[in-house]
Every structure is written in structure tokens, then in C-alpha cells.
């Protein structure tokens, strides 16, 4: 199948680029090896919208961080994704720490960050009473915030698909050849969920014999491998792993601001943050991963995360933890984002090494790549009524007022069935998630879109119901319903088979 | 159901049961093994049979039963918000509320078992539902972490379904479940029980392919060098139950950290007036029979509350009941004194295993009662009876009263 533009990778970067380009009259495909968007780095990170003071002035990281941070509230509004401008503190506990704050402040000024201040202990403790009282000063960045990275990712892809982008799931790129200015992309089908599902009408020819005029490499931790396929070995990705502990919402209600420790060479240090959905989260550490898909957690690392976070925040109760997870960071050996047309292969754009602050930077990167593509290929914008840059989501049942709940129940039978008790998720929300433009096909897919299974019982009660609903609507047998990819089926055979 | 029936029998006219499942009986419906009802019915029933005894009786009453009904909010003034397919969104105003929501299982995340976040890790109860209600097996080769009763029951259940149970791993030096379940579910099927041993890592990409186990020291820390790899495609967790008190907390009910349930007095009344608690939402029980009896007691109190004959609490002297030496918790946690001849049953669980011990109840130097127990183990709940009269005699209104301490004699 021919596409004008092929985007490899459906993380936040690939998905926002796809959305950005979907307003033009071009044929676009996003190739994703997993069954869903947001399955790697985007699916497991801190979800912080950084103000932009920590990136080294003059770098791409600094530039895209600051502009991305400014774009984030508007983008989230357009995509009906929750964004909270919480502000952030970098906490200092001694003279040395205070000097670091000053340096951060200075580079913030150079990077164009506004609304920053170095604040004293009283200010900090008034806003965050459970910060370790030994704190002396903090860098307060008012524009920092929090967002759900996977929800933003999903909404971006929903929007892209609404505008005609083809989302090719369970399709892995295995080779790239360039011939007469045209890329030939060979692929392998990695799973059978979409081929079994009756909701996906991806034709075999859509994802085999792919040719494209422009390729955009957004393959995250694997971006160096994809780049090499196109003959460009100018960078390497060294995967790093960060581990997190997530706590019950009871804990999240006590914290309002993102709390950083002073950064070290390894990263921004262990943070303590509320999540947009009201939980409390701590992490990440930064360790070298065994391989690029190494998302295993380790007890020593989790202990380290907890111990270190406890130094900044005094109210951590390990008994209130509900899950732990690890995320992969696509750290480049070039120390900065790589966002450029390959010098070795024309029309091949690398968007690689997008480690922190990649989530914040992604909206700005998408616009930058849009301009790059425009310079490579003539693209006409669709008529205004042929695309939309907005996604409308129904309000989650749990966020409705009693009056809204009553009205919703009156008009909609599926609202009256609450499937997930911990997070109060109705059957309507789950069904909507399945039928969305980039719909859920797996238990984790439903979970990320609706929060069913994300609460304190972690799906103990709702998983059987979610699996039944998925099966009813996708036509996939219950014992073929997967957690994540096709190799993660939850159940075995029927007991009377 | 026990509370509703008791209240009905006592003459309460307007009773509603709000049940989130599509039938009455809760988790009993998936407990298709026998062993229920030895105390209440003097016979051995399966879970569904035990539930049926009550649901059949309820049919003969005018108790309103609302199934598929999720209570989504509650307030201190006993207003409940619920939804169900039939009526949609409902606001229910009650004079008295009996909390009987049961418990949930502690999930993997709460234990922070490290490793891969793959499929194939189930809580034992969820697996039980899949096997017994949905008729689908979780896998072929299973490791069970934790020796709680559901895990033990599932070890046998899965063996009967042709699943290979590799072993049960228990971090403590003694099993978490009832002795009868160790014998009938593990010993009878030659399933190994590994005490002081736990799972330290989960392996697998999409689906679990194995676990690393390790022995633990006396601080329950894994001992280096004792790691073993055990191949499996399923890991079942039976590592504890947590009372489901999110609604209780919305009603302003105070929680006791140790049980995870509300603080209650001898009437099973919480510190929110007119709100009573019973069963696993109050504290995790080992036998359903005791749950039933507790439900009946809660209903009696609720009826007395409606009749305004419940213990006078505003002006009454309140004494604390304290878990002393060797005990993990006691219930109730406080007693309101009154001038009656009634007996109060104090339930407790031990912290460790004891043989041939006396459990003593005392206030200061006054020993109110001693009970000899041939054995006292954490997995089996015990009780002592206290006479209100004896309690009253330990102090006076002017000099006050000390705490009632329940403890294992040294």
C-alpha cells in the first residue's frame, strides 16, 4: 500500500505528529508493533509537564520543552484531556542545594521560562504541609503541570484517525529500502488481535508492501535500529529504566504540587507528584536497562525510590501503594533530542532520543516536524470542514455531579451498570472506549482509557466483566482476550473443552 | 442477608438490600466447595447452598432486594446514592444502615512483587470466579503465593481441573489459612507447602513463564543464595483480604488500622450514629457462620436503634478494649458501660502461634476472666465473654475506669 507519509511508532510523539499532519490532503499511516498506542515510554513515565528550567540552554530540549509547556493547556483542551497546572517545586535542603536552585533559575531565564521564583520555607510548607520540614528553599515554577501521558496519546491518535490517518496496529517494521525516491517498508504482523476483532478492518494489503514518500521515525527506544535500516547509524539509543510506585487516591488528596529534588547527573531525581486522576506517585530512579523492552521492576530499585522519596515527603505510607511499574527512556548518545532529516537518507526524518522532557516537548516537536514535512513535500490543507483538531469525550461517570449522573442514567441504560467499583466506571464508558476511533482492544487498553481496573483492587472484581464486554463487542473469544499484546492472553482453555 | 432477615424477624418493616452482583450471596456463590454452615446449620454445605438457605427465606418476606445495584456514594446522614439498571440513579434515605460490603483481595501491586508486569497473575478469588462461574481455566501450571484459605481451596480446585500446582509459598513460618484446609486441600493432593519462602520476581514477557522464589529470614527478607526458579504460566495470590470501607469512610466512619474495618462498640455500631457494621467489612473472618451471627447481632442493634432502646452512649462511660500481649486485634474496640446483666463477646486474633495458653481479660489488677486455649493461631479467630456487671465493678463513676486489656498470659 502506498502512503505519502509513514510514521513509525505510535507513542506520544508519533501520534501528535500524525494528528498535526492529518489536516493536510496526504495519505498517512502510523505503524505500531504493539496492539495499542502508548505501550512503551509514553505509557509509563512521570506525566509531568515541565516548565523548562533544567534543560541546558541552547539545546533542542530547552527550546521544545518551553514551547511545549506553553502549548500543553490549549492542546489538552482541544483533545478533552485533563491538564492540571499544579506548579512544581525543586526542593533544597542545604547551601549546596540552594546553589543548584540558583543555577536552575538562571538557566530557566535563559530558556525563556516565565513565572519562576525562589521561595522560602514558609511558602513551601504553607502550600505543601507534608514536605520534609528541613527544607530551606525551593525553585517554584508556576507553569509546570501534570497530564496523563497515555490519555493524551490516545486522544491524539483518536483525533488523527478521525481525520483519516491509518493506524496499523500489531505491525512491526523489519526493513526499509529506498528506491527511486520511494521508501519500501517491509513489515511483520506481530499479533492476531486486530485480525480477529470484527471492529478492525485493516486489510492485509494496508500493512504489507508499504511504500511511502516520507518516513518519520518515532520508534522510541528502537529509533536507532529503524534509522539504521534507512542507512543512518549516526546515533544510538541507550535504554534506561525508571521505576515508580503508585499510591491510593487517599494519599493523592494531600498533595498539590510536583515535588522534585535537586537534579543529579542521572536525571531529575526522585519526584513526588499528584496524578491528574488523583493518585500519588513517586519515582523514577534511572538504571541501565538490560534491553530495550526491559520493563521489569526490581525490589532494590523500588526500595531506593521509596527511601529517597521519603526524604522529601513525610506522609508516604507504603501500605497504601496500589501498583509498581517501570518505564523505558529512549536516551540518545548525543545528549540532545534528534529531530532532523537524516543527513544520510533524504526524506527520512528522525525524531529520536526523546527522553525527558519528551512528553512536554511533544506538542512543539509535532509542529516543528509539520514545518519540516512542508518543506520536503507540497501539502495542501484540507477544507476546514474535512478535518477537526478537536476531540470530544463524554465526562466520566465518576466526575459527574449527582444531577448529571441522574440525567445520564435516565437517557442511557449502559450508564446504569457500574463495572469498576473502585473507580466508578460505567459500562457506557467501556463500550465508548472500544468504539473510539483508536479503540481499546485489550484489558489494559480499556484500563488506560477508562480507569477500569486502575483502582485499589487492580481489576480483581472488574476484570471478568471488562473481558466479557470486550468479547461481546469485538467478537474476540473471552479466552483470547489479552492484557496487553496478543502474547498476553489472560485465560486458558474452557474447563469443559 | 442474615442482618436483613434478623431485622425482618424483629419487626422492622422497611428493609432494602443493595447488592452489586446479579444475585444474592456475594462471594459464597463462587465458593462451590463444602465446609460452610457447621455452626449455624450443623451440617456441611457448599457456598451456594449456604447462600440459598438465606435467599430462599428472603423471598418469603417483603424485604426489598435490589440487584445489580452499585452504591456510588454515601453521606453521614445515611443518605446513599446508588445506580441500577431498573431505576437508574437513586437517592436512598435510611434511618439505619448496616454495612456488609465484605472485602477485596490484596492485589500484586500492594505487595510490590517485582518483575514483569505480564498477564497470568491473578488474585485467588478472581481465578476462582473464572474457574467456577465463567468455566475458564487460568492456565496449566500454577504457583500459589500465600496460604490464605482461598489460595488453599484453589490449589485443590485447580488440581481437580487438571492444572499442575507447583507449590504454595508462604512468607510466614506458619500457614495463613485454616488447618483443615491445609490438610484437605494440600496434604491430600501432595501439593508442597513452602513456609518462610516467597516469590521475589516474576518472569515473562507477555505471559508469565516462571517465578523466582527465595527463603526469607526472621525479618521476612529474602536470603541471598536460596533463590530458585519455578516454571509456571500462572501465579495466584492469596495474600490477604482488605475490608472494603470506602463507602464507610464517606459516611464519616472511623477506621481501625489493624483490622481495616470500622471502630465499633459492643453493639457493632460505628462512630457514626445509626451505622452498624458486620462481616468481612468489619474484620476478616475465617468462617461464614461467624459472619452470619455478626450480621444478626448488627440487625438486633439496628432494631434497638430504631426503637430508641440501644445503649445510651452520649452520657455513658466509655472504656477502651485493648489488644495486649500476643494479640493482633480485639473487637469491639470500645464498650459503653450500662447497668445490665448482659455478656459481651470480645473477639480477637493472635499475633503468633501459641500452645496451651491462657487468654486473660483484665482492667488494671482486676482479672475479669481467663480462658484456656489448647492452641491459639493467627488464622483462627477466638473470643472471650465478659460480664458487664464485672466491668462495672472495676471502677466507679468518680474514679473512672481503666482500659479492658485482652492478652495472652506470659
CB neighbours of residue B287 within 10 Å? 18
Which conformational region is residue B260 in: left (phi greater than 0), alpha (psi within -120 to 50 degrees), or beta? left
**A50 catalytic per annotation:** yes
| A33, A26 contact by CB (below 8 A) | no
Ranges of chain B with pLDDT below 70: none
Report how far residue B171's alpha carbon sits from residue B151's, in angstroms, rounded to the nearest whole number: 14
Q: What is the pLDDT of residues A340-358, one digit of tens each?
A: 999 999 999 999 999 999 9
Report how far residue A223's alpha carbon sits from residue A184's, in angstroms, rounded to the nearest whole number: 17
Q: How far is B264 from chain A (nearest CA, A)?
A: 22
Q: Which of B109, B120, B233 sits opposite A324 (nearest CB)?
A: B109
Q: What is the pLDDT of residues A80-109, one digit of tens each?
A: 999 999 999 999 999 999 999 999 999 999
* Dihedral (CA of B289, B294, B299, B304) sign: positive
Q: Which residues of A touch B118 (CB under 8 A)?
A: 483-484, 488
Report how far residue A221's alpha carbon sits from residue A289's, in angstroms, rounded to the nearest whole number: 11
Query: B205: which 3 cell numbers?
Result: 514477557
Query: B273: which 3 cell numbers?
Result: 450514629
DSSP for residue B222: B
Q: Which residues of A touch B112 (CB under 8 A)?
A: 245, 297, 299, 302, 318, 321, 324
* DSSP-derived 3-state class of residue A251: helix
Question: Which A-chain residues 156-175 have CB contacts (< 8 A) with chain B?
Answer: none
| A170, A190 contact by CB (below 8 A) | yes
Contact A494 B200 (CB under 8 A): no
* DSSP-derived 3-state class of residue A124: helix
Q: Which of B81, B137, B207 sits opposite A402 (nearest CB)?
A: B81
Picking from B66, B83, B91 by the largest number of A CB atoms within 10 A of its own CB, the best residue to mutate is B83
Q: CB-based contact (8 Å) between A415 and chain B?
A: yes
Q: What is the pLDDT of residues A299-332, one digit of tens each?
A: 999 999 999 999 999 999 998 999 999 999 999 9
Mean pLDDT of all residues belonging to chain A: 95
Report how far residue A488's alpha carbon sits from residue B275's, in angstroms, rounded to the nearest whole number: 44
Q: Beta strands B354-363 and B366-376: pairing type?
A: antiparallel
Q: What residues does each domain of chain B span? A: 1-104+242-310, 107-239, 315-410
Q: CB-based contact (8 Å) between B91 and chain A?
A: yes
Q: Which residues of B touch A406 (CB under 8 A)?
A: 88-89
Report how far residue B7's alpha carbon sits from residue B302's, in angstroms, rounded to the nearest whole number: 8
Tell me how long chain B is. Answer: 410
Res. A267: pLDDT tops 90: no
Q: Which residues of A touch B84 (CB under 8 A)?
A: 416
Q: CB-based contact (8 Å) between B117 and chain A?
A: yes
CA separation, residue B188 to residues A20, B157, B185 (Å): 64, 12, 6
Q: In terms of CA atoms, which chain B residue is nearest residue A294?
A: B116
Please state the φ and ψ torsions of residue A24, each to the nearest 5 degrees: -100, 160
CB neighbours of residue B62 within 10 Å? 9
Please state the φ and ψ torsions of residue A472, each to the nearest 5 degrees: -60, -40
Among residues A396, A337, A315, A329, the alpha carbon closest in space to that of A128 is found at A315
ipTM: 0.94
Q: In terms of CA atoms, which chain B residue is nearest residue A404?
A: B89
Residues 6+ positions from B155 with CB-CB distance below 8 Å: B144, B165, B168, B185, B186, B189, B191
Give chain B's end-to-end CA distance (angstroms, integer).
Answer: 41
Report how far residue B54's alpha carbon sits from residue A371's, in angstroms, rounded to the nearest whole number: 71
Does the N-terminal peptide bond of residue A357 adopt cis geometry, omega within 30 degrees of 0?
yes
Q: CB-based contact (8 Å) between B290 and chain A?
A: no
DSSP for residue B216: B
| B159, B188 contact by CB (below 8 A) | no
Instruction: Please give the CATH number for the structural domain made up of B1-104+242-310.
Output: 3.50.50.60
A&B contacts, CB < 8 Å: 148
Instruction: Please give the CATH number for the structural domain made up of B315-410.
Output: 2.60.40
Q: How far is A483 from chain B (nearest CA, A)?
A: 6
Query: A121: which 3 cell numbers?
Result: 520555607
Res. A130: pLDDT tops 70: yes
Bridge partner residues of B354 (DSSP)? B376
Among residues B147, B105, B124, B39, the alpha carbon closest in space to that of B378 is found at B147
Identify the CATH assignment for A397-488 out of 1.20.950, 1.10.10, 3.40.50, 1.20.1050: 1.10.10
Which conformational region is residue B293 in: left (phi greater than 0), alpha (psi within -120 to 50 degrees), or beta? alpha
Give chain A's end-to-end CA distance (angstroms, integer).
Answer: 41
Q: What CATH class is the domain A84-146+238-332?
A: alpha beta
Please enumerate, as own/partner, the contacts of A191-195 that have beta carbons within 8 Å and a separation of 24 or more. A191/A35, A191/A482, A191/A485, A191/A486, A191/A487, A192/A486, A193/A35, A193/A169, A193/A441, A193/A442, A193/A476, A193/A482, A193/A485, A193/A486, A194/A35, A194/A169, A194/A170, A194/A441, A195/A170
Report how far residue B143's alpha carbon sits from residue B122's, in angstroms, rounded to the nearest whole number: 11
Picking from B131, B161, B206 by the largest number of A CB atoms within 10 A of its own CB, the best residue to mutate is B206
CA separation, residue A223 to residues A8, A189, A217, A338 (Å): 9, 19, 6, 10
Query: B249: which 3 cell numbers?
Result: 469512610
Q: CB-based contact (8 Å) between A324 and chain B?
A: yes
Q: What residues does each domain of chain A span? A: 2-41+150-236+335-386, 84-146+238-332, 397-488
pLDDT of residue A264: 74
Query: B110: which 3 cell numbers?
Result: 500492594
Q: CB-based contact (8 Å) between B135 and chain A?
A: yes
Q: In terms of CA atoms, which chain A residue is nearest residue B72?
A: A424
Contact B88 A458 (CB under 8 A): no
Report how far residue A217's alpha carbon sits from residue A225's, in angstroms, rounded to the nearest whole number: 10
Lowest mean pLDDT among A14-23, A225-234, B103-112: B103-112
CB neighbours of residue A133 within 10 Å? 10
Contact B107 A405 (CB under 8 A): no
Report how far residue A127's alpha carbon sits from residue A136's, in angstroms, rounded to the nearest whole number: 14
Q: CB-based contact (8 Å) between B367 and chain A?
A: no
pLDDT of residue B396: 86
Q: CB-based contact (8 Å) between A322 and chain B?
A: yes
Q: How far is A495 from chain B (nearest CA, A)?
A: 5
Percent of chain A topping pLDDT 90: 92
Report how far residue B100's alpha carbon sits from residue B3's, in angstroms, rounded to the nearest whole number: 9
Q: Beta strands A280-283 and A271-274: pairing type?
A: antiparallel
Report how far residue B295's alpha carbon sits from residue B1's, in angstroms, rounded to the nearest whole number: 8
Contact B85 A416 (CB under 8 A): yes
Q: What is the DSSP string of B121-134?
A: EEEHHHHHHIIIII
Percent of chain A topping pLDDT 70: 99
pLDDT of residue B399: 85
Classify domain A2-41+150-236+335-386 at the CATH superfamily level. Answer: FAD/NAD(P)-binding domain (3.50.50.60)
Contact B112 A302 (CB under 8 A): yes
Mean pLDDT of the A172-176 span: 98
Contact B107 A460 (CB under 8 A): yes
Between helices A463-474 and A443-450, what is the axis angle to 10°? 110
Res. A451: pLDDT tops 90: yes
Which architecture characterizes domain B107-239 according to CATH?
3-Layer(bba) Sandwich (3.50)
Rg (CA), chain B: 23
Report how far residue A191's alpha carbon sits from residue A483's, in angstroms, rounded to the nearest whole number: 13
Query: B44: which 3 cell numbers?
Result: 456441611
Note whether B1-104+242-310 and B107-239 share their fold: yes
Report how far residue A106's alpha carbon sits from residue B409's, in angstroms, rounded to the nearest whole number: 67
Query: B20: which 3 cell numbers?
Result: 452489586
Among residues A203, A228, A207, the alpha carbon closest in space to that of A217 is found at A228
pLDDT of residue A232: 98
Select which of A34, A50, A465, A473 is catalytic: A50
Contact A295 B70 (CB under 8 A): no
pLDDT of residue A266: 67
pLDDT of residue A173: 98
Lowest mean pLDDT among A14-18, A249-253, B41-45, B320-324: A249-253
Contact B206 A302 (CB under 8 A): no
Q: CB-based contact (8 Å) between B114 and chain A?
A: yes
* DSSP-derived 3-state class of residue B380: coil
| A247, A281 contact by CB (below 8 A) | yes
| A12, A364 contact by CB (below 8 A) | no
Between helices A358-376 and A60-78, what is the axis angle to 10°? 90
Report how far residue B372's alpha carbon sits from residue B406's, in angstroms, rounded to the nearest whole number: 13
CB neighbours of residue A328 within 10 Å? 25
| A359, A284 contact by CB (below 8 A) | no
Q: CB-based contact (8 Å) between A396 and chain B?
A: no
H or E stretch covering B342: none
| B381, B285 contact by CB (below 8 A) | yes
Q: Which residues of B touch A464 (CB under 8 A)?
A: 126, 129-130, 133-134
Picking from A170, A397, A408, A456 by the largest number of B CB atoms within 10 A of its own CB, the best residue to mutate is A456
Contact B114 A324 (CB under 8 A): yes
H or E stretch covering A471: helix A463-474
Among residues A460, A338, A362, the alpha carbon closest in space to that of A156 is found at A362
Rg (CA), chain A: 22
DSSP for residue B61: S
DSSP for residue A264: B
User: What is the pLDDT confidence band of residue A201, given thresholds at 50, 70 and 90?
Assistant: confident
Q: Which residues of B touch A457 (CB under 8 A)?
A: 104-105, 107
Query: A186: which 3 cell numbers?
Result: 517491509
Q: Which of A409, A464, A490 sits opposite B89 (nearest CB)?
A: A409
Amino acid at each position: 500500500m502506498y502512503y505519502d507519509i509513514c510514521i513509525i511508532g505510535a507513542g506520544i510523539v508519533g501520534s501528535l505528529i500524525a494528528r498535526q499532519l492529518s489536516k493536510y490532503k496526504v495519505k498517512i499511516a502510523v505503524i505500531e508493533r504493539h496492539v495499542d498506542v502508548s505501550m512503551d515510554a509514553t505509557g509509563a513515565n512521570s506525566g509531568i509537564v515541565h516548565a523548562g528550567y533544567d534543560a541546558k540552554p541552547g539545546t533542542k530540549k530547552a527550546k521544545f520543552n518551553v514551547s511545549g509547556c506553553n502549548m500543553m493547556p490549549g492542546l489538552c483542551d482541544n483533545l478533552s484531556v485533563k491538564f492540571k497546572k499544579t506548579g512544581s517545586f525543586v526542593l533544597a535542603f542545604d547551601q549546596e542545594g540552594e546553589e543548584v536552585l540558583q543555577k536552575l533559575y538562571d538557566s530557566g531565564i535563559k530558556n525563556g521560562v516565565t513565572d519562576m521564583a525562589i521561595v522560602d520555607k514558609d511558602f513551601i510548607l504553607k502550600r505543601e504541609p507534608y514536605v520534609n520540614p528541613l527544607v530551606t528553599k525551593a525553585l517554584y515554577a508556576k507553569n509546570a503541570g501534570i497530564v496523563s501521558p497515555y490519555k493524551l496519546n490516545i486522544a491524539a491518535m483518536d483525533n488523527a484517525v478521525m481525520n483519516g490517518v491509518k493506524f496499523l496496529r500489531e505491525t512491526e517494521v523489519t526493513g526499509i529500502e529506498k528506491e527511486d525516491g520511494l521508501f519500501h517498508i517491509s513489515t511483520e504482523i506481530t499479533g492476531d488481535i486486530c485480525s480477529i476483532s470484527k471492529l478492525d478492518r485493516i486489510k492485509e494489503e494496508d500493512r504489507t508492501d508499504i511504500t511511502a514518500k516520507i518516513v518519520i521515525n518515532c520508534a522510541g527506544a528502537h529509533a536507532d535500529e529503524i534509522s539504521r535500516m534507512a542507512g543512518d547509524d549516526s546515533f544510538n539509543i541507550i535504554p534506561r529504566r525508571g521505576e515508580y510506585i503508585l499510591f491510593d487516591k487517599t494519599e493523592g488528596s494531600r498533595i498539590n504540587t510536583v515535588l522534585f529534588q535537586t537534579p543529579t547527573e542521572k536525571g531529575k531525581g526522585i519526584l513526588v507528584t499528584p496524578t491528574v486522576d488523583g493518585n500519588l506517585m513517586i519515582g523514577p530512579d534511572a538504571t541501565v536497562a538490560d534491553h530495550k523492552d526491559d520493563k521489569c521492576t526490581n525490589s532494590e530499585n523500588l526500595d531506593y525510590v521509596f527511601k529517597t522519596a521519603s526524604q522529601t515527603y513525610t506522609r508516604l505510607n507504603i501500605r497504601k501503594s496500589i501498583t509498581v511499574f517501570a518505564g523505558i527512556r529512549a536516551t540518545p548518545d548525543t545528549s540532545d533530542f534528534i529531530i532532523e532529516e537524516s543527513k544520510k537518507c533524504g526524506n527520512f526524518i528522525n525524531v529520536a532520543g526523546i527522553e525527558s522532557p519528551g512528553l512536554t516537548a511533544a506538542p512543539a516537536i509535532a509542529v516543528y516536524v509539520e514545518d519540516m514535512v512542508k518543506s520536503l513535500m507540497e501539502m495542501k490543507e484540507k477544507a476546514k470542514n474535512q478535518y477537526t483538531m478537536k476531540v470530544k469525550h463524554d465526562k466520566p461517570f465518576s466526575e459527574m455531579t449527582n444531577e448529571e449522573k441522574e440525567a445520564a442514567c435516565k437517557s442511557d441504560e449502559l450508564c446504569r451498570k457500574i463495572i469498576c467499583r473502585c473507580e466508578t466506571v460505567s459500562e457506557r464508558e467501556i463500550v465508548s472506549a472500544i468504539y473510539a476511533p483508536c479503540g481499546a482492544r485489550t484489558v489494559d487498553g480499556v484500563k488506560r482509557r477508562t480507569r477500569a481496573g486502575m483502582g485499589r483492587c487492580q481489576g480483581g472484581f472488574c476484570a471478568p466483566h471488562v473481558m466479557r464486554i470486550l468479547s461481546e463487542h469485538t467478537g474476540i473469544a473471552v479466552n483470547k482476550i489479552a492484557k496487553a499484546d496478543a502474547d498476553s492472553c489472560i485465560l486458558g482453555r474452557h474447563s469443559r473443552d | 442477608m442474615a442482618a436483613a432477615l434478623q431485622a425482618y424477624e424483629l419487626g422492622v418493616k422497611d428493609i432494602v438490600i443493595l447488592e452489586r452482583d446479579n444475585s444474592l450471596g456475594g462471594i459464597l456463590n463462587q465458593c462451590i466447595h463444602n465446609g460452610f454452615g457447621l455452626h449455624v446449620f450443623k451440617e456441611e454445605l457448599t457456598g451456594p447452598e449456604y447462600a440459598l438457605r438465606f435467599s430462599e427465606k428472603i423471598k418469603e418476606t417483603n424485604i426489598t432486594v435490589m440487584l445489580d445495584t452499585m452504591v456510588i456514594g454515601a453521606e453521614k446522614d445515611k443518605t446513599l446514592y446508588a445506580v441500577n439498571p431498573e431505576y437508574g440513579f437513586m437517592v436512598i434515605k435510611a434511618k439505619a444502615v448496616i454495612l456488609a460490603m465484605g472485602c477485596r483481595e490484596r492485589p500484586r501491586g500492594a505487595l510490590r512483587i517485582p518483575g514483569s508486569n505480564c498477564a497470568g497473575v491473578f488474585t485467588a478469588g478472581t481465578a476462582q470466579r473464572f474457574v467456577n462461574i465463567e468455566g475458564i481455566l487460568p492456565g496449566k501450571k500454577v504457583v500459589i503465593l500465600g496460604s490464605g484459605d482461598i489460595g488453599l481451596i484453589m490449589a485443590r480446585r485447580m488440581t481437580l481441573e487438571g492444572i499442575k500446582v507447583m507449590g504454595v509459598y508462604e512468607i510466614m513460618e506458619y500457614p495463613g489459612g485454616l488447618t483443615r484446609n491445609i490438610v484437605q486441600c494440600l496434604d491430600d493432593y501432595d501439593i508442597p507447602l513452602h513456609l518462610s519462602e516467597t516469590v521475589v520476581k516474576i518472569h515473562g514477557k507477555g505471559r508469565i513463564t516462571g517465578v523466582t522464589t527465595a527463603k526469607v529470614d526472621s525479618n521476612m527478607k529474602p536470603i541471598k543464595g536460596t533463590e530458585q526458579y519455578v516454571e509456571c504460566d500462572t501465579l495466584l495470590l492469596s495474600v490477604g483480604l482488605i475490608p472494603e470501607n470506602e463507602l464507610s469512610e464517606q459516611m464519616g466512619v472511623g477506621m481501625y488500622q489493624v483490622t481495616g474495618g470500622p471502630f465499633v462498640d459492643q453493639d457493632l455500631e460505628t462512630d457514626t450514629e445509626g451505622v452498624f457494621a458486620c462481616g468481612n467489612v468489619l474484620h476478616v473472618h475465617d468462617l461464614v457462620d461467624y459472619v452470619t451471627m455478626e450480621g444478626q447481632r448488627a440487625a438486633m442493634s439496628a432494631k434497638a436503634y430504631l426503637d430508641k432502646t440501644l445503649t445510651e452512649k452520649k452520657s455513658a462511660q466509655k472504656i477502651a478494649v485493648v489488644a495486649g500481649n500476643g494479640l493482633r486485634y480485639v473487637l469491639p474496640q470500645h464498650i459503653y458501660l450500662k447497668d445490665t446483666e448482659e455478656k459481651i463477646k470480645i473477639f480477637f486474633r493472635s499475633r503468633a502461634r501459641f500452645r496451651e495458653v491462657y487468654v486473660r481479660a483484665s482492667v488494671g489488677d482486676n482479672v475479669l476472666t481467663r480462658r484456656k486455649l489448647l492452641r491459639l493461631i493467627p488464622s483462627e479467630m477466638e473470643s472471650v465473654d465478659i460480664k458487664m456487671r464485672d466491668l462495672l465493678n472495676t471502677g466507679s463513676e468518680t474514679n473512672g475506669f481503666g482500659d479492658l486489656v485482652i492478652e495472652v498470659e506470659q
